[in-house]
A = this chain, B = another copy of it.
């Protein structure tokens, strides 16, 4: 396909697949798109293992790595010990919510995620060092302007740096900072997202980038789970698509099977944009867990990364129990997903998803041409 994204990343079809699952990354890259491995919550030694596995299996096809390195967050640059303590109200709320659904035990014990560490300068540097030891073809930052180190390493290794944006102004800030690819994510996206819809944000950012004389290519994100949506975004000024949700229900994905089933059954109305998981607004599958946090009597979510220390251990326990058939846990189980979940109705392999995207893209283009009279 004739897109600057294809040229820049040496891929056939400008479809990028964000996934925490190495098998999805490999399958997508092999099918002509590009897998981007989500490494935000891994310690450096685990990232090393995962990327080594990818190198062994991807047959030389290009792939990328995605991190979350915000410019500011509670405790940035400090030791984890220095983070403020979790308020008792939050602990009690979670304990009560779990207990109501028959989930017992200390929900805050055993925080094993490295997300908090990785968001510190030292933690981010360690992950970047690992990533750049591998033949990555893209490095992405999922929150805010990439730190100078990421931009420097990208330049030095000739690896394009991508950054997610949810507003026109943030896009222009990223362009000025020297980002190579803009991932323009509408409010219908799963995970962290803004409020402006993809249908508006993509042409708005495309016009703003052009108006400052830049030619930074745009990947549209937010709600895109089919080739027709990808084509639509490209008709409006994007040069490709960045996707996440659609891979969660693929055969390769390690998504909790209970959540996978919920996603396949969900309509586009079954998501909620809430601060309750990370402290910043992120879109996720609705469940009694998210409903409880949205209720008026719920404690206010803590700032990033503290809220993750409240939610992740509890939700990990919920996942584990739900996979064992625990009814209360099955009800509570949730995960990040975009409104596109309403169009995700069939489980299939990740490579097949890429093929369907291609066919659907072409069909959408033909459909559009068909409106033009002879």
**A contact residues vs B (CB 8 Å cutoff):** 1-3, 167-169, 186-188, 194-201, 203-204, 207, 222-224, 226, 228-229, 231-237, 267-269, 338-340, 342-343, 362, 364-365, 367-373
Contacts and interface: CB of A to CB of B under 8 A. Distances in A.
B199 A343 contact: no
A229 B199 CA distance: 7
B373 A342 contact: no
A225 to B, nearest CB: 8
A369 B372 contact: no
A367 B199 contact: no
A224 B204 CA distance: 12
B199 A268 contact: no
Interface centre among A168, A226, A228, A367 (most CB of B within 10 A): A228
Contacts of A201: 268
Contact of A224 (B199, B362, B373): B199
B199 A222 contact: yes
B367 A168 contact: no
A292 B229 CA distance: 37
- Counting from the closest, the 4 A-B pairs by CB-CB distance are A232-B232, A188-B197, A197-B197, A235-B364
A245 to B, nearest CB: 10
B197 A342 contact: no
A197 B195 contact: no
Contacts of A339: 196-197, 200
Given A228-B236, A236-B364, A372-B2, A197 B223 contact: yes
A3 B236 contact: no
Contacts of A1: 371-373
A63 to B, nearest CB: 22
